[in-house]
């Protein structure tokens, strides 16, 4: 006899399971629509817009990156690529570089300043400010905010930040408010690159309501506390900016690294009437490494992938019909540094010999698969003043290497041997590969023997400071777009002290000071030419390559500009529906 109770129970269980499944599926699809941030669009609207010649743009775009904000989003301390990238979307400077800039002075266009002039002696810069621009709380932007920003930056003098790193304090004497919408900068030295300096993110104007001045300027702790850092759960308190194309809606860091950033259009942006930002919402997601990022863009999970994709991945994606690879000039360079405090590199001839044995072709072709350019000067290609000075040394010229070294007693049986150091934290792209290729090309001369050694980035810096590395590989990203930013921080006795390579040439210092102070293009050009030739003569460092910038996007994305400013303009990106 059947157990009716059992059947009844089983039926109830069965019905319950079916109900749960149906609810689950329904919930899934409801969640799909609400969980996604994609805007909802009817066919009627698209048709209407097409008829009226209005192309609807996607409301939200997702970008993936392996970067992360290193310290914070306060211009007084932020000095990393990604920190500057976000600051640029949240804030504005007096001037900016237009998209597609080549680094010439003509590429600088008004931003928060509408016009400017400079005195004949180059020491006084006057700026007329844009009117009718407002902060979040309704305060109108005016000259006092400019003064506040620079007083604060120079006053806080955060040792990790750009104000100290670039040396604002040594350039700007004071900032004076002459009227509500006019401000004057009094400089200590004539500085030709001043406009470029104002266009860089460290000079962006802050919102005093969110950027406190230190209570006691002479107390380092008080100054440090005035720097705005990440606040969990409160995006607005996590940055001091406010006049940019976007507002920071969400910034989530997990375990000290960025997890998610959400940007939304700022209606108060001075160029909002021009339709900027083109995409109202920008989501940035963070991947641990290039493989994760590459897999994500290939799976079309994100719309844009920028920094850092490996050379192999980029090559691979060029043949991918679902993706578009954007390439452009970069302004990042890499170079080999010699420690001149002791042998062997206290000898100029040895430095020249090694410099002549560098094979840039293998570096560019093998390590970067052609996605870089051979560099023969510390000033990048495409920048005003660049000359291919190092070509005279050879690329490579093993005969010269052997000659120079033979004169000092080095030959096949008695090779010049030294240690080459590289960093292992991924601070520069593919450092281990570069080092291996470098070693191989130097040893191909037959008279050099190289041992490789490495350290993680913080230890690498310690070694640099302790001056115990004979030769090491470093890189550089532009702070401001001017040849001065590629010369003074390297070969000037005081400007280059952070490299600790003990290179001092008073003649060089003089040339640098003239070049940065002189405002005539012709004069500067000739001076930089002399400087580059002097660098080849003295050989304190050997430029190797200049990286190209790459971004990969899905097919619909437009508005990607990869120019010499190496700045990623979120507000120009868009995709049509």
308-347 binders of another protein (CB under 8 A): 310-313, 315-316
Distances (CA, A) of 355 to 29, 68, 337, 361, 505: 63, 35, 10, 14, 19
Of 440 and 520, nearer to another protein (C-beta) is 440
For the CB of residue 280, give the shortest distance to another protein in the complex, in Å.
15
Q: Does residue 22 bind another protein (CB under 8 A)?
A: no
For the CB of residue 568, give the shortest distance to another protein in the complex, in Å.
17
> Residue 205: what are its φ and ψ, rounded to 5°?
-80, 135
Round to whole Å and give the CA distance between 304 and 323: 10
The two beta strands, 448-455 and 416-423, are parallel
Of 79 and 574, nearer to another protein (C-beta) is 79
For the CB of residue 316, give the shortest distance to another protein in the complex, in Å.
4
Residues 381-440 that bind another protein (CB under 8 A): 424-426, 432-433, 435-437, 439-440
Of 103 and 495, nearer to another protein (C-beta) is 495
For the CB of residue 335, give the shortest distance to another protein in the complex, in Å.
16
For the CB of residue 163, give the shortest distance to another protein in the complex, in Å.
11
Of 49 and 160, nearer to another protein (C-beta) is 160
Q: Does residue 453 bind another protein (CB under 8 A)?
A: yes
List 48, 186, 342, 498, residue binding another protein (CB under 8 A): 498
In DSSP notation, 384-416 reads TT---GGGGG-SS-HHHHHHHHHTTT--SSS-E
In DSSP notation, 237-299 reads GG----SSSEEEEEEEEETTEEEEEEEEE-TT-TTGGGT-SSSSEEEEEE-SSHHHHHHHHHT
Distances (CA, A) of 9 to 1, 4, 22, 31, 180: 16, 9, 20, 32, 82
Q: Side-chain half-sphere of 350: how many Cα atoms within 13 Å?
A: 22
Other CB atoms within 10 Å distance of the CB of residue 252: 14
Q: Does residue 230 bind another protein (CB under 8 A)?
A: yes
Of 453 and 507, nearer to another protein (C-beta) is 453
Of 113-121, 219-227, 269-277, 502-510, the segment contacting another protein by CB under 8 A is: 219-227
> Residue 277: what are its φ and ψ, rounded to 5°?
-75, 150
For the CB of residue 498, give the shortest distance to another protein in the complex, in Å.
4
Of 122-130, 144-152, 227-235, 374-382, the segment contacting another protein by CB under 8 A is: 227-235
List 298, 392, 525, 530, residue binding another protein (CB under 8 A): 298
CB 375 within 8 A of CB 544: yes
Residues 28-87 that bind another protein (CB under 8 A): 28-32, 34-38, 60, 62, 64, 70-72, 79
Residue with tokens 């989003």: 73
Q: Does residue 229 bind another protein (CB under 8 A)?
A: yes
List 122, 165, 212, 394, residue binding another protein (CB under 8 A): 165
> Looking at the DSSP assignment, which residues form a beta bridge with residue 558?
574
For the CB of residue 486, give the shortest distance to another protein in the complex, in Å.
15
Of 109-117, 177-185, 248-256, 521-529, the segment contacting another protein by CB under 8 A is: 248-256
Of 100 and 458, nearer to another protein (C-beta) is 458
Round to whole Å and give the CA distance between 545 and 193: 24
For the CB of residue 461, give the shortest distance to another protein in the complex, in Å.
7
Q: Using CB under 8 A as the criterion, what x/- string covers residues 539-558 for binding another protein?
A: --------------------
Q: Is the dihedral of CA 20, 26, 30, 35 positive or negative?
A: positive
For the CB of residue 95, give the shortest distance to another protein in the complex, in Å.
25
Distances (CA, A) of 474 to 378, 381, 477: 12, 18, 11
Residues 6+ apart with CB under 8 A from 444: 357, 359, 396, 398
SS3 47: helix
Q: Is the dihedral of CA 38, 44, 46, 48 positive or negative?
A: negative
Round to whole Å and give the CA distance between 534 and 30: 69
Round to whole Å and give the CA distance between 247 and 235: 9
Of 220-228, 379-387, 478-486, 503-511, the segment contacting another protein by CB under 8 A is: 220-228
For the CB of residue 420, give the shortest distance to another protein in the complex, in Å.
10
Q: Using CB under 8 A as the criterion, what x/- string covers residues 344-363 for binding another protein?
A: ------------------x-
Of 100-108, 454-462, 509-517, 525-533, the segment contacting another protein by CB under 8 A is: 454-462
Residues 256-285 that bind another protein (CB under 8 A): 256-257, 259-260, 262, 283, 285
Number of residues this chain uses to bind another protein (CB under 8 A): 87
Of 28 and 342, nearer to another protein (C-beta) is 28
List 114, 366, 525, 530, residue binding another protein (CB under 8 A): 366
Residues 6+ apart with CB under 8 A from 357: 396, 397, 398, 401, 441, 442, 444, 445, 448
In terms of Cα–Cα distance, which of 495, 565, 566, 498 is closest to 531? 495
Count of residues making up the chain: 577
For the CB of residue 256, give the shortest distance to another protein in the complex, in Å.
5
Residue with tokens 């030769």: 471
Residues 90-119 that bind another protein (CB under 8 A): none
Residues 121-160 that bind another protein (CB under 8 A): 159-160
In terms of Cα–Cα distance, which of 306, 314, 300 is closest to 284? 306
């Amino acid at each position: 006899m059947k157990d009716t109770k059992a059947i009844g129970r089983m039926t109830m269980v069965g019905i319950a399971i079916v109900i749960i499944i149906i609810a689950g599926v329904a919930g899934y699809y409801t969640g799909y629509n609400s969980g996604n941030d994609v805007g909802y669009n009817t066919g009627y609207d698209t048709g209407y817009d097409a008829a009226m010649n209005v192309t609807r743009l996607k409301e939200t775009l997702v970008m993936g990156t392996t970067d992360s904000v290193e310290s914070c989003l306060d211009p007084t301390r932020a000095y990393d690529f990604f920190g500057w990238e976000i600051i640029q979307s949240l804030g504005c400077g007096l001037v900016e570089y237009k998209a597609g800039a080549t680094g010439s002075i003509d590429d600088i266009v008004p931003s928060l300043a509408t016009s400017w002039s400079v005195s004949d002696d180059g020491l006084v810069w006057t700026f007329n400010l844009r009117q009718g621009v407002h902060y979040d709380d309704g305060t109108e932007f005016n000259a006092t905010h400019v003064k506040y920003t620079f007083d604060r930056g120079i006053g806080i003098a955060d040792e990790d930040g750009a104000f100290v790193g670039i040396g604002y304090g040594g350039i700007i004497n004071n900032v004076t408010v002459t009227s509500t919408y006019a401000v004057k900068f009094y400089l200590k030295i004539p500085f030709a690159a001043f406009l470029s300096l104002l266009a860089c993110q460290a000079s962006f104007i802050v919102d005093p309501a969110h950027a406190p001045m230190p209570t006691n300027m002479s107390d380092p702790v008080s100054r440090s506390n005035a720097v705005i850092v990440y606040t969990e759960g409160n995006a607005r308190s996590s940055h001091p900016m406010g006049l940019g194309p976007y507002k920071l809606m969400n910034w989530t860091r997990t375990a000290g690294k960025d997890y998610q950033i959400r940007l939304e259009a700022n209606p108060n942006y001075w160029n909002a009437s021009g339709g900027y930002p083109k995409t109202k919402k920008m989501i940035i997601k963070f991947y641990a490494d290039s493989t994760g990022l590459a897999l994500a863009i290939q799976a079309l999970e994100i719309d844009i992938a920028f920094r850092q994709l490996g050379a192999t991945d980029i090559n691979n994606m060029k043949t991918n019909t679902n993706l578009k690879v954007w390439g452009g000039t970069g302004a990042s360079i890499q170079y080999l540094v010699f420690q001149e405090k002791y042998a062997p590199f206290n000898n100029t001839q040895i430095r020249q010999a090694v410099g002549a044995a560098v094979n840039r072709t293998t570096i560019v072709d093998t390590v970067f698969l052609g996605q870089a350019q051979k560099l023969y000067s510390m000033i990048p290609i495409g920048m005003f003043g660049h000359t291919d000075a190092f070509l005279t040394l050879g690329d490579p010229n093993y005969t010269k290497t052997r000659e120079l070294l033979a004169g000092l007693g080095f030959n096949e049986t008695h090779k010049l041997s030294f240690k080459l150091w590289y960093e292992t934290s991924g601070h520069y792209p593919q450092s281990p590969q570069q080092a291996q290729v470098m070693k191989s090309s130097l040893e191909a001369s037959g008279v050099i023997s190289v041992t490789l050694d490495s350290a993680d980035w913080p230890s690498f810096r310690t070694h640099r400071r302790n001056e115990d590395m004979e030769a090491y590989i470093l890189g550089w990203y532009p702070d401001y777009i001017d040849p001065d930013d590629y010369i003074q921080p390297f070969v000037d006795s005081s400007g280059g002290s952070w490299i600790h390579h003990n290179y001092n040439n008073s003649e060089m210092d003089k040339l640098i000071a003239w070049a940065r102070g002189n405002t005539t293009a012709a004069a500067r050009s000739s001076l930089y030419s002399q400087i580059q030739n002097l660098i080849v003569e003295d050989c304190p460092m050997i430029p190797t390559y200049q990286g190209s910038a790459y971004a990969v996007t899905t097919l619909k994305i437009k508005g990607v500009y990869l120019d010499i400013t190496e700045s990623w303009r979120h507000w120009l990106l868009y995709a049509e529906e």
